[in-house]
Amino acid sequence: MIRLLFVRHGQTEFNVKKRVQGWCDSPLTQEGIKQAESLIDVLKEVDICAAYSSTSERCRDTLDIILNDRDIKKYDRKGLKEIHFGLAEGERIEKVFPNGTANLSGYQDIQGESKQQALKRFEDEIHSIVSLYDEANILIVTHGSILKEFFSHIDLGFKQAAIEVNGSVNRLISNCSLSIVEYNQGNYCLVSYGKTYY
Which residues are marked as active site? 9, 82
Contact 111, 117 (CB under 8 A): no
